[in-house]
């Protein structure tokens, strides 16, 4: 019967389809390219990519390389979209490197603390503060804290004599400069400490104290308050407010780009439309940015010369 | 093609179309699955590796990074190679023992998300999965995955989908085959029912097998067959009535046909465009044309009847027809036209033989005319006699007075009286001659040449006062050859009149030619002149009494009338042909024998 023949034929056709399909599966991931693995060379192997329109952005190491990169990465995407340039982070292992990169123009912009700014300006010149970072209550100032473990017998700064003390980075405003000022005001000089060290970041400083390597430490207020709320540390002193960290720029950056970056950052609204853009609490500018005069940071010049350059040199 | 075959064909078409679609969709899905799987595998593997490499790359710990990727490759058999590029694009570490294949850098530069590129190498097909090493900074981590390892993961999926597709189609096909018989049964019943209805079995009904559309179709069929049964009964009754009516009509038609065929009038029916539809026996008889020859032709091809003759013309049109052999008397037919049907535009032509009526009418006219002539002759003879007597007395007295009269003026006036009296006598003679033509003439054998010569002589001697000397007279006849039975005096009068008219027509001279010819029955005296000719409008009136164009010359207009009367009394006729400016030919036709 014709009907049955048709059905049988169609089943056979479908079967053949399936077999062919099973034996010869479809290509995936686009066109296949032929590569000779024997054509080798180890010397100067480098992918050549165009660096035109790439703008490098530096930063002071705060919470560690990976964490800081992850924190700043969305900001780079935002600035790329706003300015039409490709913004890339430039990693520097030290604060001095970042200062050099910014002053020399290897990076055009950088998220740095006042100490780095003043140090670069004093050492190289050619750096300008572009915007000041705001805290969660939109204040242009911040503080540093001196903290211990919750179980420590240290209750006051004065108790720190002959005790070990951890600083963050040497060039950190909150992790070194302000705690130094606080110690000095309490009548404690570095030599009166049993031992002290610069651990490179606020997080390293906190971990060192929590782990018992050091009796106390100095660090930035925001992270300290978070750690205290979790019961990991105890804050024994909070400093006076000082001008906050900034976005600084090389003086030779194209004014149009400078203006575009400035406007783009000022437009950010951490409490509204841009809440999800960054992990704001991990930054030095949880309240966004505000315009600032270079004179705003004049207070730091004398302090840096006394506490940083004097010892650093 | 049977319905079941159509359904099967439809099923196969659907099967092929949707089967192909299924294969295509499966192909797409599997392709997507393989790609996703490869990416997922590469991303999963690469994520933790890249996380562990970030610090090393940032701090330029190349040796540590190299150790990490070597360990990674060893612990993952599906991985062919791993290599790492720094943020500046520089190759930092790789797992190739014989050196780095630099061509690998030509492909698969990662963007934000992981990307994949199939490569065909000496070691088989490899999928290069690449990831950005450090967000917002750059650097790349590339992992080469063997194809087998990816396909292994999806092979079972393909197998299951294929088997499921085959089983679905197979089961579907078997179910369709099984259900086809059940679906087709009501249709077969319907087909049988239709055959029975076609065979006249209107009482056939279908069983209702279901409540679905096919059940509704069966019910509709049963309703239809009931209706057909009723209608068939009604039609049969109607046909019987029609048969009776037809039989009556047929008899009536036969009677009418016989009537029309045998009626004395010719009856012809015409279509709207003038084609002959019917032609009865009388029409055949009148025209000599058989009905079988006439029917189908246009009426104008058969009879000289205008095809669009006014059907309301009750007076009819007369038509003279010779009988069919062209011999015998003419038949006069009167034609009437009538409408047969307004709707079809058919008309009927009636041919009525009115020959007897016409002949009777003409005889009556002639009789009346002859009676008038006899009365006129008798009156003219009586008047002539009454007038001639006093005229003779006047003439005699005038002639006596002329003899006695000395005075010249008186003589002139007396001569004028005598002239006028002679004119009166001459005119009275003419009237008497006209009267006499109506009486029986005495005939004797007459030499027509002699009569014509006497007539010419008479005209030349005195009668024609306008005769021109330059007129040439040609005589084409001989004495003793052309004899007729007739009245010599009357015939002389005839030729005198005709020749006189010819001479008067040539006032300025010309040529008068007289010729006598004859055939078996008639003698023709042909008198031709080159005169002014007679206008066409006068040709029909030249034989009317008192018609003349020469009143100024004192003509009465009786000459040709008398001549025509004399010739007709001899059984002949006068024929006149004329052309203005060219001349006139008068032919006097006389029978050669006395009839």
Comparing A255-259, B22-26, B301-305, B398-402, the range with the smallest average pLDDT is B22-26
Question: Which of A9, A18, A77 lies at the smallest CB-CB distance from B165?
Answer: A18
Confidence of residue B590 (pLDDT cuts 50, 70, 90): very high
User: Is residue A52 scored above 70 in pLDDT?
Assistant: no
Residue A143 to chain B, least CA–CA distance (Å): 30
Asked if residue A16 has pLDDT above 80, the reply is no
Quick one: pLDDT at residue B437?
61
pLDDT at A92 over 60: yes
- With a cut of 60, say whether residue B311 has pLDDT above it: no
Instruction: List the Cα angle B263/B266/B269 in 5-degree steps.
Output: 110
pLDDT band at A241 (very low <50, low <70, confident <90, very high): very high
Name which of B539, B530, B511, B537 is nearest B581 in CA terms: B530
Which chain A residues have a beta carbon less than 8 Å from that of B24? none
Distances (CA, A) of B422 to A183, B198, B427, B429, B551: 196, 114, 9, 10, 18
In this predicted structure, what is the pLDDT of residue B403? 87
Confidence of residue B579 (pLDDT cuts 50, 70, 90): very high
If contacts are CB pairs under 8 Å, which of residues 514-533 in chain B contact chain A?
Answer: none
Q: Could you tell me if A89 and A76 are in contact, meaning their C-beta atoms sit under 8 angstroms apart?
A: yes
Query: Does pLDDT of A15 surpass 50?
Result: yes
Using the beta-carbon criterion (under 8 Å), do A10 and B169 form an inter-chain contact? yes
The answer to whether residue B104 neighbours chain A at the CB level (below 8 Å) is yes
Asked whether the beta carbons of residue B9 and residue A6 sit closer than 8 angstroms, the reply is yes
Residue A301: which pLDDT band, with cuts at 50, 70 and 90?
very high
Out of A162-166, A247-251, B113-117, which region has the weakest mean confidence (pLDDT)?
Answer: B113-117
Lowest mean pLDDT among A96-110, A247-261, B54-68: B54-68
Confidence class for position B4, pLDDT limits 50, 70, 90:
low
Are A73 and B138 inside 8 Å of each other by CB? no
Q: φ, ψ for residue A26 (rounded to 5)? A: -70, 150
In the predicted structure, residue A84 carries a pLDDT above the cut 70: yes
Size of interface A-B (CB pairs under 8 A): 190
In sign, the C-alpha dihedral spanning B487, B489, B490, B493 is positive
B window 376-395, beta carbon within 8 A of A: none
Task: Return the percentage of chain A with pLDDT > 70, whole number.
Answer: 91
Q: What number is the average pLDDT over the span B542-558?
A: 75
| Whether pLDDT at B293 is above 80 | yes
* Residue pLDDT, tens place only, B106-136: 888 887 668 888 888 888 888 888 888 888 8
- Are A33 and B119 an interchain contact pair (Cβ–Cβ within 8 Å)? yes
Considering Cα of A217, then A220, then A223, then A227, what sign does the dihedral take?
A: positive
Q: How far is A4 from chain B (nearest CA, A)?
A: 7
Task: Note the pLDDT of residue B193.
Answer: 86
- pTM to 2 decimals? 0.48
Place of tokens 């782990």: A211
Residue range B131-143, pLDDT digits in tens? 888 888 888 999 9
Query: Among B27-31, B209-213, B240-244, B355-359, which range has the highest average pLDDT?
Result: B240-244
B441 to chain A, any CB pair closer than 8 A? The answer is no
pLDDT, mean of residues A155-169: 95
Mean pLDDT of chain A: 89
**ipTM reported for the complex surpasses 0.85:** no
CB contact under 8 A, A69 and B5: no
Question: Would you state the pLDDT for residue A58?
Answer: 96
What percentage of chain B exceeds 70 in pLDDT? 83
> CB B88 to CB A46 under 8 A?
yes
Q: Which of B167-181, B222-236, B275-289 has the lowest mean pLDDT?
A: B167-181
Q: Which two tokens stand for residue A289?
A: 């940015």
pLDDT greater than 50 at residue B561: yes
Cα distances (angstroms) measured from residue B99 to each of B57, B103, B194, B585: 20, 12, 88, 144
pLDDT-based confidence at residue A159 (cuts at 50, 70, 90): very high
For residues A28 and B118, the answer to whether their CB atoms sit within 8 Å is: yes
Structure tokens at A264: 């783009």
Q: Which two tokens stand for residue A11?
A: 């089943």
pLDDT of B594 over the 70 cut: no
**Of the listed ranges A186-200, B32-46, B324-338, the one predicted with least confidence:** B324-338
3-state DSSP helix/strand/coil percent for chain B, to nearest 5?
55, 20, 25
- Average pLDDT of chain B is 81
What band does B217 get if pLDDT is binned at 50, 70 and 90?
A: confident
Mean per-residue pLDDT for A205-213?
Answer: 96
Tokens 């950190």 found at: A172
Contacts B89 to A, Cβ<8 Å: 46-49
Residue B138 burial class via C-beta count within 10 angstroms: exposed 0-12, middle 13-18, buried 19 and up: buried
Residues of A in contact with B30 (CB under 8 A): 25-26
Distance from CA of A174 to the nearest CA of B (A): 24
Residue B310 has pLDDT above 80, yes or no: no
**pLDDT of amino acid B587:** 95
- DSSP state, residue A48: -
Exposure string (b/e) for B501-517, b if CB count within 10 Å is 16 or more?
bbbbbbeeebebbbebe
* Cβ contact B104–A35 (<8 Å): yes
Most A-contacting residue of B137, B156, B174 (CB-CB within 10 A), to test interface: B137
pLDDT band at A313 (very low <50, low <70, confident <90, very high): very low
Please check whether residue B120 touches A, CB under 8 A: yes
pLDDT category at B315 given cuts 50, 70, 90 is: very low
For chain B, list the domains and their CATH numbers: 3-160 (3.30.450.20), 263-353 (3.30.450.20), 358-436 (1.10.287), 444-591 (3.30.565.10)
CA B173 to chain centre: 64
The pLDDT tens digits for A103-118 are 999 999 999 999 999 9
Of the candidates A171, A177, A162, the one whose C-alpha atom is nearest the C-alpha of residue A218 is A177
User: In this predicted structure, what is the pLDDT of residue A62?
Assistant: 75
CB-CB under 8 Å, B23 with A18: yes
Residue A120 pLDDT level (bands cut at 50, 70, 90):
very high
Q: Give the model confidence (pLDDT) of B429-455 as tens digits.
A: 777 766 666 566 677 888 999 999 988
* Among candidates A14, A41, A69 on the partner chain, residue whose Cβ is nearest the Cβ of B99: A41
Q: Which strands form A234-238's sheet, in the order they lie side by side? A: A195-198, A164-167, A216-220, A144-148, A234-238
pLDDT number for residue B177? 72
Q: Which helix (H) or strand (E) holds B36?
A: helix B3-58
Per-residue confidence band for B369, with pLDDT thresholds at 50, 70 and 90: low
pLDDT for position B332: 79
If one counts every other C-beta atom within 10 angstroms of the C-beta of residue B285, the result is 16
Chain A residues 9-68 with a CB less than 8 Å from chain B: 9-11, 13-15, 17-18, 21-22, 25-42, 45-49, 65-66
Q: 477-506 in B: which are within 8 Å (CB) of A? A: none
Which residue in chain A has the smallest CA separation from B116? A29
At residue B66, the pLDDT reads 93
**Residue B354 Rama label (left phi>0; alpha psi -120 to 50; beta):** alpha
Phi, psi of B207 (to 5 degrees): -75, 140
Residue of A nearest to B166 (CA): A15
Position with higher pLDDT, A201 vs B366: A201
Q: Which residue has the higher pLDDT, B185 or B240?
A: B240
């Amino acid at each position: 019967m014709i009907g049955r023949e048709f059905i049988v034929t169609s089943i056979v056709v479908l079967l053949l389809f399936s077999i062919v399909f099973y034996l010869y599966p479809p290509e995936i991931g686009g066109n296949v390219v032929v590569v000779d693995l024997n054509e080798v060379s180890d010397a100067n192997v480098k992918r050549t990519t165009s660096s035109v329109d790439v703008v490098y952005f530096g930063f002071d190491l705060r919470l560690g390389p990976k964490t800081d990169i992850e924190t700043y990465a969305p900001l780079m995407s935002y600035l790329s979209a706003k300015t039409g340039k490709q913004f890339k982070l430039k990693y520097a292992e030290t604060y001095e490197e970042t200062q050099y990169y910014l002053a020399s123009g290897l990076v055009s912009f950088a998220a740095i603390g006042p100490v780095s700014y003043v140090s670069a300006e004093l050492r190289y010149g050619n750096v300008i503060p572009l915007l000041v970072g705001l805290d969660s209550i939109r204040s242009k100032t911040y503080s540093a804290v001196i903290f211990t473990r919750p179980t420590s017998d240290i209750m006051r700064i004065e108790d720190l004599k002959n005790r070990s003390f951890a600083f963050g980075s040497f060039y950190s405003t909150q992790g070194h400069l302000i705690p130094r000022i606080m110690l000095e005001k309490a009548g404690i000089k570095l030599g009166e400490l049993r031992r002290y060290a610069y651990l490179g970041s606020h997080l390293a400083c906190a971990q060192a104290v929590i782990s018992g390597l050091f009796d106390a430490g100095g660090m930035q207020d925001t992270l300290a308050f978070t750690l205290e709320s979790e019961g990991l540390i105890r804050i024994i002193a909070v400093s006076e407010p000082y001008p906050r960290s900034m976005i600084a720029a090389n003086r030779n950056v194209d004014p149009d780009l400078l203006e575009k970056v400035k406007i783009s950052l000022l437009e950010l609204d951490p409490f509204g439309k841009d809440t999800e853009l960054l992990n704001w609490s991990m930054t030095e500018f949880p309240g966004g940015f505000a315009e600032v005069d270079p004179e705003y940071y004049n207070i730091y010049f004398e302090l840096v010369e006394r506490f940083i350059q004097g010892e650093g040199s | 093609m049977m319905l079941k075959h159509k359904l099967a064909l439809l099923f196969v078409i659907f099967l092929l179309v949707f089967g192909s679609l299924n294969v295509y969709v499966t192909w797409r899905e599997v392709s997507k699955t393989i790609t996703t799987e490869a990416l997922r595998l590469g991303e999963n593997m690469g994520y933790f590796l890249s996380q562990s490499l970030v610090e090393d790359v940032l701090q330029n710990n190349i040796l540590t990074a190299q150790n990490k990727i070597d360990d990674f490759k060893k612990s993952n058999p599906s991985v062919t190679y791993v290599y790492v590029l720094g943020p500046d694009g520089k190759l930092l570490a790789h797992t190739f023992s014989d050196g780095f294949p630099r061509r690998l850098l030509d492909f698969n530069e990662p963007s934000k998300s992981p990307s994949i590129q199939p490569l065909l190498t000496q070691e088989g097909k490899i999928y290069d999965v690449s990831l950005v090493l450090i967000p917002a900074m750059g650097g790349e981590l590339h992992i080469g995955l063997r194809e087998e390892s990816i396909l292994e993961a999806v092979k079972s999926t393909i197998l299951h989908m294929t088997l499921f597709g085959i089983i679905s189609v197979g089961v579907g096909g078997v179910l369709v085959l099984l259900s086809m018989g059940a679906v087709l049964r009501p249709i077969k019943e319907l087909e049988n029912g239709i055959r029975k209805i076609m065979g006249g079995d209107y009482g056939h009904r279908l069983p209702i097998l279901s409540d679905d559309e096919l059940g509704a179709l069966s019910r509709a069929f049963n309703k239809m067959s009931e209706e057909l049964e009723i209608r068939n009964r009604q039609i049969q009754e109607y046909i019987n009535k029609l048969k009776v009516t037809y039989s009556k009509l047929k008899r009536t038609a036969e009677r009418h046909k016989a009537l029309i065929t045998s009626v004395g009038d010719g009856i012809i029916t015409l279509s709207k465009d003038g084609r002959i539809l019917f032609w009865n026996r009388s029409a055949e008889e009148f025209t000599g044309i058989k009905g079988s020859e006439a029917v189908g032709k246009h009426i104008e091809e058969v009879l000289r009847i205008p095809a669009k003759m006014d059907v309301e013309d009750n007076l009819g049109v007369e038509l003279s027809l010779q009988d069919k052999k062209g011999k015998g008397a003419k038949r006069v037919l009167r034609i009437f036209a009538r409408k047969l049907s307004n709707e079809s535009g058919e008309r009927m032509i009636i041919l009525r033989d009115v020959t007897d009526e016409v002949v009777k009418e003409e005889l009556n006219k002639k009789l009346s005319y002859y009676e008038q002539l006899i009365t006129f002759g008798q009156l003219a003879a009586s008047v002539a006699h009454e007038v001639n007597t006093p005229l003779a007395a006047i003439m005699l007295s005038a002639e006596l007075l002329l003899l006695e009269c000395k005075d010249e003026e008186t003589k002139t006036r007396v001569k004028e009286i005598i002239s006028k009296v002679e004119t009166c006598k001459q005119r009275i003679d003419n009237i008497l001659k006209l009267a006499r033509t109506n009486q029986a003439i005495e005939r004797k054998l007459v030499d027509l040449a002699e009569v014509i010569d006497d007539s010419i002589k008479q005209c030349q001697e005195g009668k024609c006062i306008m005769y021109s000397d330059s007129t040439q007279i040609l005589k084409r006849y001989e004495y003793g050859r052309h004899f007729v039975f007739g009245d010599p005096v009357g015939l002389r009068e005839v030729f005198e009149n005709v020749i006189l008219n010819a001479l008067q027509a040539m006032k300025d001279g010309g040529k008068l030619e007289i010729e006598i010819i004859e055939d078996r029955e008639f003698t023709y005296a042909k008198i031709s002149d080159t005169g002014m000719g007679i206008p066409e409008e006068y040709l029909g009136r030249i034989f009317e009494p008192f018609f003349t164009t020469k009143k100024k010359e004192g003509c009465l207009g009786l000459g040709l009338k008398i001549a025509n009367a004399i010739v007709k009394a001899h059984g002949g006729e006068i024929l006149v042909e004329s052309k203005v400016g060219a001349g006139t030919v008068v032919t006097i036709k006389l029978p050669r024998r006395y009839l």
